[in-house]
Amino acid sequence: SFFIKILLTVLAVVMIPFGVGKMLETTKASADDLTVYVSSTGNDEAVGTADAPYQTLEKALSIVEDGATIVLKDTVAINGWNGHDKTITITGGALDASGMADIFINDNVTFTNMTWKVDNNAEIYANCNTVVMGKNVAISGSNVYLYGGSDEGSTIDCTDLTVLSGTYGYIFGGSHGVSGNTATINRDTNLTIGGTTSASYVFGGANGSSDIFGTSYLRVTGGTFEGAYGGNQGTNAGNDVDMEITG
């Protein structure tokens, strides 16, 4: 009886490190909660590591923790963007939104060191999210429209768009409305332009038929463009304007 107890104790001591080792091995094989990888040749049933990346941005968005980074290993196609109420960074590779006339970014995102592959005249909407086009972001299409707000008929709270790189046709802090289908923003629009950004025209406010029940803030710290306007294009949105150029 005493011998059996000793034997069981020895076995337990030997088995515990083995169990811990297997547990650590499993954890190591899974993606870091704060960095996941996506590749066009990946698999959404994988674990999101550099060696076993996901295939779609949607899968990565659904898995990552708030504050995480999604690394694009190559060109990843998207055909939409479901909101996940997260704040993330997307870097590397490219997002291919070819064939999409309107592209909605439905999370708070900082883009860096990556390319947007979009059609000529495409419209990209931050859709009331905090969006930063950070350093070394390239836009493949020409005459691309970038909005801090949303599209026609929409009602959103406010906007917060920062653009530090990329080449665009027009950049608006507000939304895009059309006659008979007004776009509404209930509070302020916030647009910051700087870095190496290049655009034909920049507007702190909206494009087309819009209501802004707040102030349009435009801050310019750098970049090149033909014209910068604190207000709106083609509409009287009834809002105040606060514009500052320091670079």
pTM: 0.87
Which whole number is the average pLDDT over 159-176? 98
State the residue for tokens 């064939």.
99
Which whole number is the average pLDDT over 119-130? 98
Which whole number is the average pLDDT over 128-157? 97
Which whole number is the average pLDDT over 131-154? 97
pLDDT in tens, 24-33: 333 334 556 6
Which whole number is the average pLDDT over 131-150? 98
Contact criterion met (CB below 8 Å) for 207 and 177? yes
Using only C-alpha atoms, what is the Rg of the chain?
Answer: 24
Could you tell me what percent of the chain has a pLDDT over 70? 87
SS3 28: helix
> What pLDDT, on the 0 to 100 scale, is given for residue 238?
81
Contact criterion met (CB below 8 Å) for 104 and 82? no
Bridge pairing between strands 123-125 and 102-104:
parallel
